[in-house]
Amino acid sequence: MTDNTLVLVDGSYYLFRAYHAMPPLNNASGEPTGVIFGVINMIKKHLTEGGPDYFAVIFDAKGKTFRNDLYKDYKANRPSMPDDLAVQIKPLHNLIRALGIPLLVIDGVEADDVIATLAKQAAQRKIKTIVSTG
């Protein structure tokens, strides 16, 4: 990559992408791990193919956001997260942090809003920004 490049990954999108793309994988204890495997491989690809100067993975926080205050039916018809996906989030966050990759989860704000804010701040500093999302 060129000098002064930032890659922002929509971790919440990656979760669902991996969930629907990966076969059901489990560890020796029978716990699901396919999402963890898939997301880490997608992140690894960004870091190994001409790695950026700056990199962060951003996830939605659990619970309501400011958008729910603006519109009470925001995402009201969206089904709840499958249990076999939900149980992989905390271990995935822990692994990303253990790998030394910056991870952001901001209460009350969706990942895409955090990404937009970071991209705007980077542009003000003349940092080329690549957003990886759906």
Residue 42's closest CA among 22, 62, 25? 22
Domains of the chain and any CATH numbers:
5-132 (3.40.50.1010)
Q: What is the pTM of this model?
A: 0.88
| pLDDT tens string 64-113 | 776 767 767 666 667 788 999 999 999 999 999 999 999 999 998 989 99
CA atoms of 33 and 54, how far apart (whole Å): 27
| pLDDT tens string 19-58 | 999 888 999 999 999 999 999 999 999 998 878 999 999 9
Backbone angles phi, psi at 109, to 5 degrees: -135, 135
Percent of the chain at pLDDT above 70?
93
Percent of the chain at pLDDT above 90?
71
Q: Alpha carbon of 73 to those of 67, 69, 81: distances in Å?
A: 9, 9, 17
126 touches 3 (CB < 8 A): no
